[in-house]
Amino acid sequence: MKEAIVLYPSPAIGHLISMVELGKLLLTHRPSLSIHILITNQAYDAGSTTTYIASISDTVPSIAFHYFPATTLPPDFSTTSPHRETLALELLRLNNPNVHRALTSISENHVVHGLIIDFFCVAAVAVARELNIPCYYFFTSGAGFLNFFLYIPTLHDKFAKSLKDFATPIDVPGTPPIPPSDVADPIQDRYDEAYKGFLESSLKMQTSAGIIVNTFEKLEHRAIRAIMDGQCVPGGPTPPLYCIGPLISSRGGDDGGSPDCLTWLDSQPRGSVVFLCFGSLGVFSVEQLQEIATGLERSGQRFLWVVRNPSEDKNQKASMFAMPAPDLDSLLPEGFLERTKERGLVVKKWAPQVAVLSHPSVGGFVTHCGWNSVLEAVCAGIPMLAWPLYAEQRHNRVLLVQEMRIALPVDESEDGSVRSEEVEKRVRELMESEEGKMVRERTLAMKEEAKAALSPGGSSRLALARLVESWKRE
Closest CA to 35 of 1, 5, 65, 66: 5
Q: Cβ distance 11 to 49 under 8 Å?
A: yes
> Check: CATH 3.40.50.2000 for 260-450?
yes
**Residue 381 above 60 pLDDT?**
yes
Residue 254: per-residue pLDDT: 47
- What superfamily does domain 2-250+455-472 belong to in CATH? Glycogen Phosphorylase B; (3.40.50.2000)
Higher-confidence position of 387 and 77 = 387
Quick one: how far is CA 392 from the chain centroid?
9
Closest CA to 219 of 112, 27, 374, 32: 374
Query: What percent of the chain is predicted at pLDDT more than 90?
Result: 86
Residue extent(s) of CATH 3.40.50.2000 domains in the chain:
2-250+455-472, 260-450
Q: Cβ distance 67 to 35 under 8 Å?
A: no
Residue 322: per-residue pLDDT: 65
Closest CA to 138 of 46, 214, 238: 214
Residue 473: per-residue pLDDT: 62
What per-residue string of b and e applies to 386-402 under the rule 16 or more CB within 10 Å gives b?
bbbbbbbbbbbbbbbbe
- pTM equals 0.94
Q: Cβ distance 190 to 81 under 8 Å?
A: no
pLDDT digits (tens, 9 = 90+) for 251-275: 644 444 558 999 999 999 999 999 9
Residue 255: per-residue pLDDT: 47
